[in-house]
Structures are given as C-alpha cells and as structure tokens.
Structure 1
Amino acid sequence: MQIIPVSGKVKFPITLDAGVWIFDDRKIKLEDAFNKEDQLENIEENKHTFSSDERFNREVYEATNDNKPIPRKEVDEIFKNTYVMPFEPFYNNVEVSDEATDAILVQEDGNEIAISLDQLKQSFLLFSREGKPLKEDGPVHVYFGDGSNRDNPIKAVKKIIID
C-alpha cells in the first residue's frame, strides 16, 4: 500500500498517496535531488500551499479537470527514472504546531526513528525506482535534503508523526 499518514501536532492531518506521485509535476529525479539550485527552482515553480479558506475554495468552488494527456515520449521517460518527492509542500500544508519538537518516522516493522522538524521539512521521499513503486522496502524512503544519508536512506517508512 502506498498510503502514508502525516499526523500528530498538526492543524491539518493529511494522508499522502505515493502511488499517484509518478504523474505529479513536483517530483524530482533522484540524481537531481541534491542539486540545491534545481531543488529551489522546482519547489518555487510548483508551490502548493493554501490557507484553510483558500483550500476550501479551491476544492469546492474552483475544482477543474487538469488531467491533460501526456505524450507517449514523456510517459516512456517517466517510467525509466527514479524519483523523489520534496516533503516541504506537505509540511507547509499540515501547519505544524508551535509545540512540536521533532518527527517520528514509523517503518513497516514498527521501528520508530526520530528526526528534527527541519530534517523532515527539507527531506525527499523516494517513491519510485525506474518508474515502479517501491514494493519490497516501501512505500517510501526518506532522504535528508543535505544528502547526509544519501547512501543509507531511512527505508520502509509507512507513517510520519509530528511530535
């Protein structure tokens, strides 16, 4: 299952569906993820943060069908690459409480790993290897934005708790 709940000391708990990110414009190729210049450009281009009023208006009044056909060449390219999703837009949307001090990454085996809120905010979630979902050690791997765990990401993360 590709569902990752984000809960805890947040104003808006959310559920992430990594299974649909392959067609999300915010995704980044893993090899480009640790290039700070590319990261900032991609995040700014695809910023999706809304206040609660804006979120309501967008979902209720401004619902549109943005499903545009994707050219076959682009689809073929998508399914050849390994992708990560920046966590920052989701972090901003949940509106973390001022009382929160860290984040707990819960793995499939129940193991819990505590990281700082800043590490979480700047992290990348690997969700696709060569265009396919992570089956054996997924649903996502967490890479720190500074690349410090690039060779040893936190694997099999199934839940994120803001504590």
Structure 2
Amino acid sequence: MIVQLAGNVKFPLTLDASVWIFDDRKVEFDKAFNSNDEQEENPEDELEKASNRWNREVYQQKLNPPVNKSISKYERKKILDSTYVMNIKPFLETAEVNESATAALLETENGEEEITLDTLKDGYFLFAVEGKPIKEDGPLHFYFGDGSNKNTPVKGITGIKIK
C-alpha cells in the first residue's frame, strides 16, 4: 500500500494510501468528475461540515474530557460504503517539485506510463472502493481530472517518479 513519490523533487515522499480514508481532502468518486458548478458548491459544504465538527469538539471539551468522537455514526457508515479518490497536488506541493520538472512516470506492475506534470496535478488517484483499500490492481488507479479515462484508468500504480 506504500507508494514512493520521488525523482525531480526536493523532498521525496512515501505515500500510504491506506490512511487516506481518514483524510478530509478525499473526494467521493462520483463527485470528482461532476461539472464545475457542482464542484464549486462542494467546498462550501465541506467547510460547513468541518465547522460543525469543530464546534462539536469545542463544546464537548468544555463539558467532558477530550474523547475521540469526531466522526458521527452516519459519517463512519458513509466512509465504509463510499468509493474515494485523492488529488495528488497537495503532496506535490509538500515534495516541492523542481521548476525543471515537466513530466511524471507512473510506475505500474506492467511498466511505466508517462504523463505531463499538469495532468498529474489535475488528476485523481482512486484508493478506496466501498471503503476498502484496492488490493487487486492496486494500490492506486489514476484518473485524468476531466474523467476522460473513467473506464480505462492507469491501474496498479506502485510509484510516481517526477522527471
């Protein structure tokens, strides 16, 4: 489940896609490829959910000692039933891609596939199907940001090398 992000970066990263299910930056698969109008509404919804969660936590801490109850039963059930993707852009920013970089190699079990750096930044990695990590043809599948390869993603990604 570990994927290396290395190559023409200042700080190579080791990505563990099995913990992304708990990351607030994940996006439901179906929502990732919706039109721009619908995507613009989504950040506000996420912000409102985060705000409500924060308010619950602050209120709880005033009344009781801190207890890990940040995810409601409904949210937990939804997490375990949904299919999720993650955009790689925040990880590329953390790795600090060098200015000379122009492309990325997606290393798979069957070889390598080269894509532009912009395509990588705009794309999504599928990491969970119905709340479970991808075991077969995993740990990651890559989808273009526009969803044009929705039926034929790059499967079995085991490494990302920036060129």
* TM tier relative to shorter chain: 0.7 to 0.9
Q: Point out the structure with max Rg over C-alpha.
A: 2
Secondary structure in 1 matching 2:81: coil
Q: Which amino acid aligns with 1:102?
A: A
C-alpha deviation, 1:103, in angstroms:
0.2
Structure 1's 162 and 68: CA in aligned 2 closer, same or farther, altered over 3 A?
Answer: farther
TM-score, normalised by the number of residues in structure 1 = 0.79
Of 10-19 and 92-101, deviating more is 92-101
C-alpha deviation, 1:108, in angstroms:
2.2
Q: Which amino acid aligns with 2:96?
A: E
User: Which residue of 2 is the match for residue 27 of structure 1?
Assistant: 26
Secondary structure in 2 matching 1:156: strand
Matches within 5 A, 1:1-163: 2-35=1-34, 36-37=36-37, 39=39, 42=43, 68-109=69-110, 111-163=111-163
Over the matched positions of the two proteins, sequence identity in percent amounts to 50
Whose helix fraction is larger, Structure 1's or Structure 2's?
2
C-alpha deviation, 1:132, in angstroms:
0.6
Cα separation, 1, equivalents of 2:160 and 2:138: 14
Cα separation, 1, equivalents of 2:37 and 2:17: 25
Structure 1's 105 and 19: CA in aligned 2 closer, same or farther, altered over 3 A?
Answer: same
Cα separation, 2, equivalents of 1:127 and 1:72: 22
Any stretches of 5+ residues in structure 1 without a counterpart?
47-64
C-alpha deviation, 1:37, in angstroms:
4.3
Aligned CA RMSD, in angstroms, stands at: 2.1
Q: Which amino acid aligns with 1:89?
A: P
C-alpha deviation, 1:15, in angstroms:
1.0
C-alpha deviation, 1:39, in angstroms:
4.6
C-alpha deviation, 1:38, in angstroms:
5.0
C-alpha deviation, 1:143, in angstroms:
0.4
Cα separation, 2, equivalents of 1:37 and 1:12: 35
Secondary structure in 2 matching 1:150: coil
